[in-house]
Structure 1
Amino acid sequence: MRLQIRVPASSANLGSGFDCIGIALDWWNTIQVETIARGLEIECPHGLPRNKDNAVYQGMSEVYARAKQKMPPVRLQMDAVIPIASGLGSSSAALVGGMLAANALMGNPFSRDNLVTFATLLEGHPDNVAPALLGSLVVAVQEGEFVQAARVLLPRHLRTVVFVPTQALLTKVSRGVLPSRVPRADAIYNMGRTALWIAALYEHRLDWLDQATRDRLHQPYRAKLVRGMDELFDSARNAGAKGVALSGAGPSIIAFAQGNATKVAREMERTAKRIGVEGTTKMVAPTPHGALVERIG
């Protein structure tokens, strides 16, 4: 059997929603999985593992283990366009793609909600894997092995502008600068703004995103790792962005726009050039679709 799986990029945190909010973006990796006679064959971009450390393989292995079935020999082919180590869910996309492939090969014994739980326990947090599986914007909570993910519909006219620096930033490095304790006032600051994110979507008040994307729990600490972050935030806001945030652990920056995405992108590019930060800008819509699976051949 041969399958093709398409998995969207995702942007997590979105400012205030640290480790609990993420959005799926219309920017897709493609994975082909084929059962073969023996062994393991992996074709993937340079720099990604071509052995059992590959995240697609690990996702497949986990689902087969959950089903108490032996994993068959497979050939994996990865067309990875989501930038790696950029805060856009590339590792989650690979993990999710592998899980969906394994589930489909076994006849789909597990629901998407089951897979969200499995992926969260492997990844450590749900804010990328949940939108990659479910699409749209997802609010997810975790306590031990309990994971609950709620999908929230997005306005059709919402667009994002993503600035992707050439600098790579590993999640473990970006997490390493975060404090183990935070002031109560900072926790309250973020709690209110996380709730405001959801209210803004339900009330169609995108102007509320300026406050909803502000944060005191992670972005101020990560700013020292992301050159030009504050200047790029300011340029997006000054160009009329509804809100702007670090994408995941960074270094990518995501701005939210309504009808003026081109202007926001242009101003972010100008600012990056002025301060000497190399990178590319991509205008991309959120997607209501989670990862897609089809049988081919």
Structure 2
Amino acid sequence: MGKKMTVIKVPATSANLGPGFDSLGIALSMYLTLTVGSKCDEWVVEHDLGADIPTDEENMIIKTALGLAPNLEPHKVRVESKIPLARGLGSSSTAIVAGLALANHLGKLGIGKDELVQKATELEGHPDNVAPAILGDFVAATYVNGHVTSVKGNFPKLSFLAYIPDYELATSQSREALPEQLAFKDAVIAGSVGNALVASILTGNLAEIGPLMEADRYHEQARLKLVPHLEILRKLGHEVGALATYLSGAGPTVMVVIDQSKVADFIKEAQALGLTGRFEQLEVERQGLVVSE
């Protein structure tokens, strides 16, 4: 195969980080990789993600690409993803970002990363996953009146230990658990906690990041019945000396922000408590979307 292949690599993401509901996210070292092959008469998507995922232009990645550039010539593409579906690690966002990047590449559209964030947010509805998937690292973003503002910062060097339960949780189901309204006083506190968390992350203030990450007033309490392991893991985190434990996205994955030296200990203790899901040790992915030829 002398022909040069284009490879599109999109990282998994973890959103909310506790109080940053729908606006904070971080890119992590687990990837969806899309390899662009030769031109064909029809789109062909090779993958081993299961029979439910289409292998033609009905695939979400191709649909997204054609939404941006309807006249793209069909190609054969290969998708490999380590990101589990419907677990709160941004699997649908990575598909959207990969599709936009595919259209940008094949259609020679010349769209920069900031504009990609805007387009991806319009498709996804909020920027908490798509922004870090594109920009990398820690991103605070908001989507108001159709405009996305996203600010990338540098998250301190810590490991993110994902506890991935062996069941899926659809975002829609997790959203249904949320309250219709929040008392004004609670909303003010919830917002201020999120603001202080962003400031603490951007200034590398580890002493404050942990408690603030665990002080969410927006969604975690309402979702506890769907993710009973959150409280167990948070309590264990306090015992083992993790920085913070939070619900990743809509769950059911729970993320433990922890120093690498404590990871093995934490996993051993969690398994002793009877938690049967799998653990993945991830690092902050600083680059975000990469398209290489």
Same fold (TM over 0.5): yes
Pairing 1:61–2:62 present: no
Aligned length: 287
- 1:270 maps to a residue whose letter is E
Counterpart of 1:50 (choices 55, 59, 62) is 55
Task: Give secondary structure in 2 for the equivalent of 1:225.
Answer: coil
Provide the residue aligned with 2:107 in structure 1. 106
User: How large is the Cα RMSD of the aligned pairs?
Assistant: 1.8
Is this contact kept in 1: 2:72–2:107, CA < 8 A? no
**How far is 1:14 from its partner?**
0.4
Q: Which runs of 5+ in 2 are unaligned?
A: none
Is this contact kept in 2: 1:161–1:261, CA < 8 A? no
Provide the residue aligned with 1:216 in structure 2. 217
Counterpart of 1:26 (choices 20, 25, 29) is 29
Relative to structure 1, the CA distance from residue 114 to residue 35 in structure 2 (aligned partners, 3 Å threshold; closer, same or farther) is: farther
- 1:71 maps to a residue whose letter is L
**How far is 1:265 from its partner?**
5.2
Provide the residue aligned with 2:276 in structure 1. 278
Provide the residue aligned with 1:246 in structure 2. 247
Task: Give secondary structure in 1 for the equivalent of 2:69.
Answer: helix
Is this contact kept in 2: 1:262–1:283, CA < 8 A? no
Provide the C-alpha distance between the structure 2 equivalents of 1:118 and 1:134, rounded to a whole number of angstroms.
13
Q: How does 1:254-265 map to 2 (within 5 A)?
A: 254-257=255-258, 260-264=259-263
Is this contact kept in 2: 1:239–1:264, CA < 8 A? no
Q: Give a deviation string over 1:174-213, Cα, whole Å, max 9, x none.
A: 1111122111222122211211222212332112122221
Provide the C-alpha distance between the structure 2 equivalents of 1:193 and 1:158, rounded to a whole number of angstroms.
21
Provide the residue aligned with 1:84 in structure 2. 85
Provide the C-alpha distance between the structure 2 equivalents of 1:146 and 1:138, rounded to a whole number of angstroms.
16
Is this contact kept in 2: 1:35–1:72, CA < 8 A? no
Provide the residue aligned with 2:44 in structure 1. 41
Task: Give secondary structure in 2 for the equivalent of 1:190.
Answer: helix
**How far is 1:79 from its partner?**
0.5
Q: Give a deviation string over 1:68-100, Cα, whole Å, max 9, x none.
A: xx1211222111111111100111111101111
Task: Give secondary structure in 1 for the equivalent of 2:28.
Answer: strand
Relative to structure 1, the CA distance from residue 5 to residue 23 in structure 2 (aligned partners, 3 Å threshold; closer, same or farther) is: same
**How far is 1:268 from its partner?**
4.8
Is this contact kept in 2: 1:189–1:215, CA < 8 A? no
Q: Give a deviation string over 1:214-241, Cα, whole Å, max 9, x none.
A: 2111111111111322111111122111
Provide the C-alpha distance between the structure 2 equivalents of 1:268 and 1:207, rounded to a whole number of angstroms.
23
Provide the C-alpha distance between the structure 1 equivalents of 2:38 and 2:250, rounded to a whole number of angstroms.
35
Is this contact kept in 1: 2:42–2:56, CA < 8 A? no
Counterpart of 1:289 (choices 284, 287, 290) is 287
- 1:188 maps to a residue whose letter is V
Normalising by structure 2, report the TM-score: 0.92
Q: How does 1:79-228 map to 2 (within 5 A)?
A: 79-155=80-156, 157-213=157-213, 214-228=215-229
Q: Which runs of 5+ in 1 are unaligned?
A: none
**How far is 1:242 from its partner?**
1.3
